[in-house]
């Protein structure tokens, strides 16, 4: 929706594997780019292949007009596990533009059924990020839905 309604938008994705049909819900950049083109979007979809903990910082180190130094909207998918998620989140919080938004999806879990059982929200990372990045306003979906939004205010 953003690409179709904002012609100045540059879309960038960081993907671990090859672009191959893995089935839903896996992201397929070539298919997304094709669908955007069919819908009338003329912006290219930039794909950074490899581990995002290396590719995103490497992307931002590059100089030039094609490198976006701050972003307005980013989606971090933490549903696949904790490996590297906190580093990814720290990288993107540091590059979020004033007024920008970070959307983080953790793993959806069923409600806690045992009294006193610890159940961290959003992998337990959201509280740590609020302490580290106080210039954001944080919103969290109701219990059981692991979605968090962070808006950069300062």
For the residues of 118-148, what is the DSSP string, one character each?
Answer: ---GGGGHHHHHHHH-TTEEEEEPSTT--EE
Instruction: Return the pLDDT at 1.
Output: 77
User: 126 φ, ψ to 5°?
Assistant: -60, -40
8 Å CB contact between 80 and 51: no
Of the pLDDT bands very low, low, confident and very high (cuts 50, 70, 90), residue 65 is confident
Helix, strand, or coil here: 30?
Answer: helix
pTM of this prediction? 0.74
Of the pLDDT bands very low, low, confident and very high (cuts 50, 70, 90), residue 151 is very high
Residue spans of the domains in the chain: they are 1-69, 70-154
8 Å CB contact between 101 and 136: no
Instruction: Return the pLDDT at 137.
Output: 95
CA distance 57 to 71: 13
Domain 70-154 has CATH 3.30.110: yes
pLDDT tens-digit map of 93-144:
999 999 999 988 876 555 544 454 444 567 678 888 899 999 999 988 877 6
Neighbours of 36 (CB within 10 A): 17
């Amino acid at each position: 929706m953003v690409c179709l309604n904002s012609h100045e938008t540059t879309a960038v994705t960081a993907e671990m594997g090859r672009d191959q049909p893995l089935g839903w819900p896996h992201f397929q950049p070539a298919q997304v780019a094709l669908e955007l083109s069919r819908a009338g979007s003329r912006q290219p979809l930039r794909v950074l292949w490899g581990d995002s903990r290396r590719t995103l910082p490497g992307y931002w180190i590059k100089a030039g007009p094609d490198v976006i130094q701050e972003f307005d909207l980013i989606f971090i998918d933490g549903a696949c596990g904790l490996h590297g998620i906190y580093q990814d989140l720290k990288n993107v919080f540091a590059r979020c533009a004033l007024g920008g938004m970070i959307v983080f999806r953790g793993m959806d879990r069923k409600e806690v059924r045992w009294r006193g059982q610890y159940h961290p929200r959003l992998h337990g990372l959201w509280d740590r990020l609020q302490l580290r990045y106080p210039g954001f306003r944080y919103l969290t979906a109701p219990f059981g839905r692991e979605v968090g939004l962070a808006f950069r205010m300062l």
